[in-house]
Chains A and B, each alone.
Chain A
């Protein structure tokens, strides 16, 4: 996973509540058997018409927003389905940071695992940022994860809180499975104890 430190680029406002993962990555893209090629999947039902042509009224089809690396969204971003494809679609399109008042639980977990920074800020702050983004289109923002700050195009600086373990994982970009396997002896001990206490959880679940 790519390490996340300082991100510079354009912020696009999509300030709507409850943008669910069905909207972010519609189901017709879930049958892909490789983890790439999701850039056109992002918001595809709204970005493209039935023939696949871009819809001019969608913000991510407009200059300069089509080059956005930051998305400003409403409450409960990423609610619904557990599809991690929603995160991949954002990242492949170029969006590496979503700023919203709140996020769906599963999306938040998936975002860390696929290197996307999800920043929660109070509703009023996100609304202000969204109007700043509209007011100075095409200007570069900076999201600095190590220092936990957002600097907008107008130079306004906002600090944000983030869970320390999520921050560390994004900055290090480490393989979590490898880290977990360092706890193998504790896992072994747990298994030995459970096998003794609840042997029925250890029988093969053969379906024949």
Chain B
């Protein structure tokens, strides 16, 4: 390919800049950034140790403890002996190999995809990997960022590279003004509903258009975070002034003359006029309403004004069967308004919606009100810095006075790998990213929503429209 004359997409530019060598249709790509967490790395370290290989460039990696960490009583070690052993293994491995981490006692500890951006580690134009599928979050900075399994974590440890076939490139162009009461989470759920949970398989999705440019970095991260829920390992957004403003002065962002040089190179990271995509989807958000999921995949969603769909109206036999199975699992009746769905639990947090903007959005709905008596509601900030910033604004008091629990940072109930687990049959409005069967606990039922909708749900005890004026 003649890279001088052919117009390129944002993704192609980043891809081309990372090709080390090529073998047939497989490319060896250089990995700039590797973020570790205790949940997926101990076995990669054991593999490395067993093979006697070196960890390359440990000083350019960072690590956090987030997946198994308790969100209560943080001064004590986790009760679960396996979780404790996992944290100890992570301490031992990162210390032995010289990787700098934010451990459970560090005020900057938090969820891996919140901490990377917060520290200025996630930079435009870079190739970022992590043993977690929501690494796509970092694509919000105009990076090619994707999750990998344990074998590939070890491969990056030992070679700093990965073999890849070139993915296809999808453009999702979003236009229209985001209506009151909606947020990037509602947009993400709409995108997945339109594209389907496997619609992005084999693609890297670029999100563009005036609506996307108008999103804050937090909103862009929410959108890219959920690209994987549409099947795409990576989502990305061209960096712009919003991106640069966010990054400037962050601890690990380039400084002084290097900042100027970096920013200059980052300004070239946009899709050229005339560049071709393999697939284009147009979405208008002018009539977007808060979205909620009713089923067991993130594509099973309707607006808050909608009803649980009726499988018998579905033409496709396989789809009808899977809808019926989802309704049985979720304990819902076809045709019932989703606003009649009563809840036991509300979870506000995760790498999707655990940043300061998310907590503010929830707080705006809650302000001065009390949660419903039958509901347990927890707020789990995405990082220690998010937590302290929220406390500086008084959000902890606001949530506590409303009846929420104010927890310490971690992945928590998004995947329930620590002790924040739903009991069988419990129903939760959750700001996380997956409503899979058993995700938040065995036989637990998850409804994915935005932070504002989760807050409204906590106040009313059912799925509700998050208008601060209308919440009863």
Size bracket, chain B contacts: 35 or more
Closest partner residue, chain A, to B78 (CB atom): A31
Residues of chain B within 8 A of A191, CB atoms compared: 30, 160
* Docked CA distance A76–B297 (Å): 12
Task: Tell me if A110 and B149 are in contact (CB < 8 A).
Answer: yes
Chain B proximity of A180: nearest CB distance (Å): 5
Residues of chain A within 8 A of B148, CB atoms compared: 82, 106, 109
Q: Would you list 18 pairs from A and B whose C-beta atoms are within 8 A, ordered by A residue?
A: A22-B436, A33-B43, A74-B322, A80-B228, A80-B434, A81-B133, A87-B149, A106-B147, A109-B148, A109-B152, A165-B23, A165-B25, A176-B151, A177-B53, A204-B100, A205-B59, A207-B101, A207-B251
Whether B315 sits at the interface, judged by CB under 8 Å, is no
Chain B proximity of A3: nearest CB distance (Å): 16
Interface size counted on chain A using CB atoms at 8 A: 64
Whether B307 sits at the interface, judged by CB under 8 Å, is no
Q: Given A76-B198, A76-B201, A206-B59, do A186 and B20 touch, yes or no (CB 8 Å)?
A: yes
Chain A proximity of B185: nearest CB distance (Å): 18
Task: Tell me if A31 and B85 are in contact (CB < 8 A).
Answer: yes
Task: Tell me if A110 and B30 are in contact (CB < 8 A).
Answer: no
Indicate with 1 or 0, residue by residue over B249-289, a CB within 8 angstroms of chain A CB atoms.
00110100010011001000000000000000000000000
* Docked CA distance A163–B424 (Å): 42
* Docked CA distance A74–B262 (Å): 46
Residues of chain A within 8 A of B33, CB atoms compared: 201
Chain A proximity of B467: nearest CB distance (Å): 33
Whether B438 sits at the interface, judged by CB under 8 Å, is yes
Q: Given A27-B417, A33-B86, do A190 and B20 touch, yes or no (CB 8 Å)?
A: yes
Partner of A18 from the list B32, B42, B261, B297 (CB cut-off 8 Å) is: B297
Task: Tell me if A205 and B198 are in contact (CB < 8 A).
Answer: no
Among B60-68, B213-221, B400-408, the stretch in contact with A:
B60-68
* Docked CA distance A203–B201 (Å): 35
Whether A102 sits at the interface, judged by CB under 8 Å, is yes
Task: Tell me if B158 and A82 are in contact (CB < 8 A).
Answer: no
Task: Tell me if A180 and B159 are in contact (CB < 8 A).
Answer: yes
Residues of chain A within 8 A of B443, CB atoms compared: 45
Task: Tell me if B265 and A198 are in contact (CB < 8 A).
Answer: yes
Task: Tell me if A23 and B436 are in contact (CB < 8 A).
Answer: yes
Chain B proximity of A196: nearest CB distance (Å): 11
For the complex of A and B, the 7 pairs showing the least CB-CB separation, nearest first, are: A84-B149, A113-B151, A200-B254, A110-B149, A31-B82, A204-B59, A82-B147
Residues of chain A within 8 A of B436, CB atoms compared: 20, 22-23, 80
Interface positions of A from 173 to 208, Cβ below 8 Å from B? 175-177, 180-181, 183, 186-187, 190-191, 194, 197-208
Whether A104 sits at the interface, judged by CB under 8 Å, is yes
* Docked CA distance A163–B403 (Å): 55
Closest partner residue, chain B, to A1 (CB atom): B151
* Docked CA distance A18–B296 (Å): 9
Residues of chain A within 8 A of B384, CB atoms compared: none
* Docked CA distance A142–B42 (Å): 36
Chain B proximity of A146: nearest CB distance (Å): 19
Task: Tell me if A30 and B417 are in contact (CB < 8 A).
Answer: yes
Task: Tell me if B62 and A17 are in contact (CB < 8 A).
Answer: no
Closest partner residue, chain A, to B44 (CB atom): A84
Residues of chain B within 8 A of A114, CB atoms compared: 151
Task: Tell me if B60 and A205 are in contact (CB < 8 A).
Answer: yes
Closest partner residue, chain A, to B150 (CB atom): A84
Whether A94 sits at the interface, judged by CB under 8 Å, is no
Chain B proximity of A159: nearest CB distance (Å): 21
Task: Tell me if A207 and B102 are in contact (CB < 8 A).
Answer: yes
Q: Given A22-B437, A181-B159, do A33 and B85 touch, yes or no (CB 8 Å)?
A: yes
Task: Tell me if A106 and B424 are in contact (CB < 8 A).
Answer: no
Whether A105 sits at the interface, judged by CB under 8 Å, is yes
